[in-house]
């Protein structure tokens, strides 16, 4: 799937964290908390009339026997309630802000009316403490999506505010079981509390806030129970602030059927494994080909030097469900995305610059050209086309004619990877590093490694002001953020 640079190259700039991520959590949290999948936590019969209350809560991140962690959560749980509905059915979500600060909810990856996009001062006023806001829209696409705040993202999402949004296909592929893996990492202190160094200069200017404890569905990731012979559909969502995961399934051959909620022609993940940048999603078909009682590691080796076991697939003792893997089609029907017309497209170059070890010397902040030192002093060290964003409601960096195909030619001129996210649209990745991209996958967040380029194409069919930003939340807050206007 996603292109990656060679390992040696990458490790030079990835391992800046002072923490070493451990699979079990460094507290040595007693007995293994089995990462049991919640079933479908559908809310309401239709799953479509929902109330979300973000507020303080406690979460058993480190499992039974370890102290719980004070977090911020939707309806008291991390992840928040799983919202599930059928493609084409309306969703209504009433939000009541139980936090001591403003918030909003952004529906990541959904093509929706601009006023429902959840960006403070751009698409709505922020929801004040105790305030309410109703989001209402009908998701046009089936797929795996998620929701999170768009105010002080580094801290609000970093403290646990996120949840899955699943839009079901009319005819999903037949599997024995569906599981949702919401994966995250946390920076916890020795007492199990969240390290509150959000937005520090080191994280902002380097690889973002990466944690020291990885979780699966809000629990220290350790084991996932499976049965021999079963076919799983696994929905993966990376809700980490900054950690890029590359999951490798020992002894298994996951088949990718969707990325960022959009179907792909099914393929086996080779080489790099399943690469999930922050906000990235993947839908996998996984045939459990191991023997009863066996166990297989799922590792994250995005950073080779810091590879670790994310969890074990643990087979129970039950006899295999079937003797050979199912021979059923797994391809998903395409979503109703408008096809780009490349012959009549408008092309825009976008250069990503700044950060530690970068070559950016100055950038424009709030209309004024500042040197990199001054920018660093103001906590704005990243820029898009020479402009460091000082707030979200800025004049648009680009304006698009409605209905016209746009090609964004991105170039990462920094020493760090950046998962670039466009609100309100899925885009087709038409080339990478100057070569046509045969898979032409539709994404809403594309990972650009150091020095990489990519061309993205989409039809600007949805009017409004849409954010385009790095989904390493510290980078977004430190300037790597822009508004695109569709007129």
H or E element: which one contains 155? helix 153-158
Sign of CA dihedral 140, 142, 143, 147: positive
Q: Which one of 182, 375, 470, 483 is in contact with Cu ion (CB under 5 A)?
A: 470
| Binding segment (CB under 5 A) for Cu ion, from list 56-64, 118-126, 358-366, 462-470 | 462-470
The answer to whether 164 touches 136, Cβ cutoff 8 Å, is no
Q: Which does 418 bind (CB under 5 to 8 A by kind): ligand C2O, Cu ion, none?
A: Cu ion
H or E element: which one contains 374? helix 372-377
Number of residues that bind ligand C2O (CB under 6 A): 10
Task: Tell me how far, at minimum, the Cβ of 112 lies from ligand C2O, in Å.
Answer: 13
Q: Which does 187 bind (CB under 5 to 8 A by kind): ligand C2O, Cu ion, none?
A: none
Task: Tell me how far, at minimum, the Cβ of 376 lies from Cu ion, in Å.
Answer: 16
Q: Tell whether residue 164 is a contact of ligand C2O (CB under 6 A).
A: no
H or E element: which one contains 218? none
94-113 residues in contact with ligand C2O (CB under 6 A) are 106, 108
Write each residue from 106 to 145 as x if it is in contact with ligand C2O (CB under 6 A), else as -, in one continuous string: x-x-------------------------------------
Task: Tell me how far, at minimum, the Cβ of 102 lies from Cu ion, in Å.
Answer: 24
Nearer to ligand C2O, 111 or 471 (CB): 471
Beta-carbon count within 10 A of 43 CB: 19
CA 132, CA 430: separation in Å to the nearest integer? 41
Burial of residue 82, with CB atoms counted within 10 A of its CB: 0-12 exposed, 13-18 middle, 19 or more buried: buried
Q: Tell whether residue 279 is a contact of ligand C2O (CB under 6 A).
A: yes
DSSP code string of 33-90: ---PPP-----SSSS-EEEE-EEEEEE-TT-TTS--EEEEEETTBSS-PPEEEETT--
Q: Is 257 left (phi over 0), alpha (psi -120 to 50) or beta?
A: alpha
Residue 474's Cβ-side half-sphere holds a number of Cα atoms within 13 Å equal to 24
| Binding segment (CB under 5 A) for Cu ion, from list 221-229, 398-406, 432-440, 463-471 | 463-471
Q: Which one of 21, 467, 480, 486 is in contact with ligand C2O (CB under 6 A)?
A: 467
Q: Is 251 left (phi over 0), alpha (psi -120 to 50) or beta?
A: left
Task: Tell me how far, at minimum, the Cβ of 469 lies from Cu ion, in Å.
Answer: 8
State the residues that interact with ligand C2O by CB under 6 A. 106, 108, 148, 150, 279, 421, 423, 467, 469, 471
State the residues that interact with Cu ion by CB under 5 A. 418, 470, 472, 475
């Amino acid at each position: 799937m996603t292109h990656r640079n060679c390992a040696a190259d990458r490790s030079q700039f990835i391992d800046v964290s002072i923490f070493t991520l451990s699979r079990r959590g460094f507290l040595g949290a007693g007995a293994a908390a089995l990462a049991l999948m919640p079933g479908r936590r559908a809310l309401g019969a239709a799953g479509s009339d929902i109330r979300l209350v973000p507020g303080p809560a406690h979460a058993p991140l480190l499992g039974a026997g370890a102290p719980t962690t004070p977090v911020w959560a939707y309806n008291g749980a991390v992840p928040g309630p799983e919202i599930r509905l059928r493609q084409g059915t309306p969703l209504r979500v009433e939000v009541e802000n139980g936090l001591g600060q403003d918030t909003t909810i952004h529906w990541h990856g959904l093509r929706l009316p601009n006023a429902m996009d959840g960006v403070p001062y751009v698409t709505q006023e922020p929801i004040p403490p105790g305030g309410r806001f109703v989001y209402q829209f009908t998701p046009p696409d089936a797929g795996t999506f998620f929701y999170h705040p768009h105010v002080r993202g580094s801290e609000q999402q970093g403290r646990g505010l996120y949840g899955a949004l699943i839009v079901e296909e009319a005819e999903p592929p037949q599997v024995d079981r569906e599981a949702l893996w919401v994966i995250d990492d946390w920076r916890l202190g020795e007492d199990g509390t969240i390290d509150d160094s959000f937005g520090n200069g080191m994280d902002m200017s380097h690889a973002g806030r990466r944690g020291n404890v990885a979780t699966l569905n809000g629990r220290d990731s350790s084991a996932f129970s499976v049965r021999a012979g079963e076919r799983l559909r696994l929905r993966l969502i990376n809700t980490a602030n900054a950690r890029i995961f590359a999951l490798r399934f020992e002894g298994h051959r996951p088949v990718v059927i969707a990325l960022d909620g959009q179907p792909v022609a099914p393929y086996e993940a080779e080489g790099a494994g399943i690469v999930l940048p922050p906000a990235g999603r993947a839908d996998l078909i996984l045939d459990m080909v191991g023997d009863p009682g066996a166990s297989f590691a799922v590792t994250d080796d995005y950073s080779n030097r810091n590879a670790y076991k994310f969890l074990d697939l643990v087979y129970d003792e039950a006899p295999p469900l079937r003797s050979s893997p199912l021979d059923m089609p797994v391809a998903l029907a395409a979503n109703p995305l408008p096809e780009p017309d490349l012959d009549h497209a408008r092309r825009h170059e976008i250069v990503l610059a700044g950060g530690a070890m970068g070559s950016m010397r100055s950038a424009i902040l709030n209309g004024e050209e500042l040197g990199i030192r001054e920018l660093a002093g103001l906590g704005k060290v990243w820029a898009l086309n020479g402009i460091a964003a000082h707030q979200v409601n800025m004049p648009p960096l680009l304006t698009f004619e409605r209905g016209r195909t746009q090609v964004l030619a991105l170039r990462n001129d920094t020493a760090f990877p950046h998962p670039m996210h466009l609100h309100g649209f899925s885009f087709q990745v038409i080339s990478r590093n100057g070569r046509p991209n045969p898979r032409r996958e539709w994404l809403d967040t594309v990972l650009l490694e150091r020095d990489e380029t990519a061309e993205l194409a989409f039809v600007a069919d949805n009017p409004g002001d849409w954010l385009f930003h790095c989904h390493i939340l510290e980078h977004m807050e430190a300037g790597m953020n822009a508004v695109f206007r569709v007129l």
